Structure 1
Amino acid sequence: MAASGGGVAQQAELRRIEGNACFKKARLGAAIDCYTEAIALCPDVAVYWMNRALCHFKRKEWAKVEEDSRRALALDDSLVKGHYLLGCALLDKEEFALAIKEFEKALNLLKSSSSTDKMAEDIWQVLAKAKYLDWEKHSTERVWRIQSLKEACESALQEHHFLSGTLVEDSDGSSNEYSEQIKLLAEVFSKATLADTPVDVPDYLCCQITFEIFRDPVITPSGVTYERAVLLEHLDKVGNFDPVTREPLKEHQLVPNLAINEAVQAYLKEHSWAYRLNC
C-alpha cells in the first residue's frame, strides 16, 4: 500500500512538473489538464489547486480562480499567492471588503517571512485599488445620504419659517434668521463631506523620488525619507549614495521611519481616496 501511495504521489508530481512547463509556454489549457490530473491523483496537495487557480487567473476566469484558491487555502492557509488570487477574484465581484482582507493577509505573510518577494508590489497595487474602490462606493452612498438630509433640513426649515411668518427678508434688506440658518446649515453639511473630498496628499507623506504616498518609508543617515523599494533600486542601479544629499549610503544604513509610517496609516484611515496611485 505504501509503495502504491508513493507511486500515485510521484505520478501527481510529474503531472505538476509537466503542467509548469506548459504554463511557462503559455499553453494554459494543457497546463490546466495536467494540474487537474495531479489533483485527481492527490487532492490534498495545496499547490496543485493553486497552480490551476493561477491558470484561471491568466484567463480571467474569476469564478474558477475563487473556487481553486479557496481549496488551496483550506489545505494551506499560509499560501501568499492563494490569498492574492482569492483577493483578485473577490475584487472582480466587487466584494471590496473581503478582497482587502485577503490582500492584507498576503502582505502580512510576506512581512512575517521577511521576504523581499517582488510580488509585494503586485499585492500593494491591487490592495490600493480595492481600498480606493471601496471608498468610492461608500463615498457615493454617503454623499447621496448627506445631500438628501440637507434638502430635508432645508425644506423643514423653510416650512417652519413660513408658518412663523419669518421667511421674508427684513425691510432694510438685511439677512433675517431664516437666511442665517440656511447659511449655517450649508456650512455644517459642507464640513460633513470634507473627508470624502480628495485633495493633494501632504508632501511629507510622499516619497521625494516617486511623489507617491509612502508604503514602506525608510530614513537615511542624512535625515531624508524615501520609499524603501525605490531607494534600494537606486542603490543597486545608480550608485551607493543618497539621491538628494549625494552622501555615501549603503543598504544596511537604512532605518524604518516608524513615525512617518504611522502618520501615513492614520491619514489613509481618514482619507481612503488617497489610495489612488501617483499622489
Structure 2
Amino acid sequence: MPPKMLMCCVCTNAFPLSMAGYRFVPKGSSILDKSSPLLQETEAHYILGLALLEREQYHDATNHLEKALDLGRGGSAGSYMVEEIWLELAKARYTEWQVEAAKRQRQQRELKDSLFDLMMQDYENKLRDLKLESSTEQAQFGYRDPNRVSHLTDEEVSAYHIERHPVKESQVTAEERRKAELFQLTGDFQDRLRTMEEVFDKAGAPDRPGEVPDYLCCQISMDIFRDPVITPSGVTYERSILLEHLCKVGKFDPITRATLHPEQVAPNLAVKDAVQTFLSQNGWAYKM
C-alpha cells in the first residue's frame, strides 16, 4: 500500500481527528506546490511516522521518519522542514532506546541475581564440605573422651600417652591446612564476584549516557552531526548551519575565512557513517 494511503488509513481510523487532514507546511518557508510528488511522498512518510510514534510502534515510526528525512534532504534548500523531521526522528529513536534499554537492564539484573545465587550456593556447599572435612579430621585425630581412658588396658593407656604429642601436631597441621583452604575458597569466590561485576558493567555501558566525541559534532552548533558537509578547506559543518551562515553572514568559510559558496560544499559521507554507527550503539545520544 502506498505511503499516502497508509497515512490516511492510520490517521483517520486510529488517531485523533486533529491529526487527520494535517498538512505538512515547512516552517519559515514558502508554501510549495502541493501537487508535487516529492512533497506528497515526504508528507506521507512524515505524518505516518508521527502516527506510528503515537502508537508506540517505534521501529516502524523511525523507518518512515528516516524516509521523510531523506526525501526532504533531496529537495531544494529550504523547501522542507528537515530540522523538524530530524527532531521527530531523534525523539522516536531516543524513546525506542529508552524502552529497549529498560528491557535490557531488567534482563541483566535478573541474570545477575540468578548468577549470584548460583555462585553463592556453590560457595556455601564448598564451605560446608570443608567444615565437614575438618570435623572428620578432629574425630580421627583426637578429642578423645577422657572418661574412656579408665576402660583401657595398660598397653592401650601407654599407647594413648605416646600418641598425644603426634596427635597435637597432626591437629595443628590439619587446622592450618583448613584455614589455608578456607582462605583460598573465599578468595576465589570474591574474584568471581569481581569478574561478574566487570562483565555486567561492560555489558551495560552502551545504555549509560556519556559524551559525544568532538569529531562527531559541528564546530559551530556543537551538536552531533545530522547532515555533515565538507568545504574545500577541509572543514566539516552541519549543512543547515553552514548554509544559514552563508546566507546571513557572508560567503566565506566560518573558520578559515576562505571564500565559499553553497554549491562548493559536499556531503561528508565518512563522518555521516561514523555518526550513524555511533548513534546505533549509543541511543542516548539522540536526546535533544
TM-score (norm 2): 0.67
Report the equivalent of 2:43. 81
Cα deviation, residue 114, structure 1: 5.5
State the one-letter code of the partner of 1:195: P
Instruction: Pick the aligned partner of 1:215 from 226, 251, 272.
Output: 226
How far the C-alpha of 1:62 sits from its partner, in A, is: 3.5
Q: How far, CA to CA, are the matches of 1:221 and 1:109 in structure 2?
A: 26
Aligned: 1:109 with 2:71:
yes
Aligned partner of 1:202 in structure 2 is 213
1:66 is displaced (CA, Å) by 6.6
Query: Taking structure 1 as reference, are residues 263 and 170 closer, same or farther at Cα in structure 2, changes over 3 Å only?
Result: farther
Q: Percent identity?
A: 40
How many angstroms does 1:98 deviate by?
A: 1.9
* Counterpart Cα distance in 1 of 2:113 and 2:90: 34
Specify which of 104, 112, 120 is matched with residue 142 of structure 1. Answer: 104
Q: CA contact under 8 A between 1:65 and 1:85: conserved in structure 2?
A: no
Show the counterpart of 1:259: 270
Counterpart of 1:260, as a letter, is: V
Alignment of 1:166-245 (within 5 A): 176-245=187-256
CA distance in 1: counterparts of 2:67 and 2:94, whole angstroms: 18
Letter in 1 for 2:254: P
Among residues 149, 161, 186, which one is paired with 2:123 in the alignment?
161
Q: Do the aligned partners of residues 247 and 200 (structure 1) sit closer, same or farther apart at CA in structure 2, a change above 3 Å counting?
A: same
Once the 2 structures are TM-superposed, how far is the Cα of residue 87 of structure 1 from its aligned partner?
Answer: 1.5
Kindly indicate whether structure 1 or structure 2 has the higher relative contact order, using CA contacts under 8 Å at least 6 residues apart.
2
Question: Which of residues 33, 53, 72 is equivalent to 1:91?
Answer: 53
- Whether contact under 8 Å (2:251, 2:259) holds in the other structure is yes
Higher alpha-carbon deviation: 261-270 or 158-167: 158-167
Q: Which amino acid aligns with 1:258?
A: L
Give me the whole-angstrom Cα distance separating, in 2, the residues matched to 1:251 and 1:79.
Answer: 26
Q: For structure 1, list consecutive stretches of 5 or more residues without a partner in the other structure.
A: 1-45, 70-75
Point out the structure with max Rg over C-alpha.
2
RMSD value, Cα? 3.0
How far apart, CA to CA, are the structure 2 residues paired with 1:162 and 1:149? 20
Amino acid at match of 2:17: K
Conserved? CA contact 1:66–1:90, under 8 Å? no
Q: Deviations over 1:145-173 (max 9, x none)?
A: 10111111011100011011189996697
> How far apart are 1:112 and its partner, in Å?
4.6
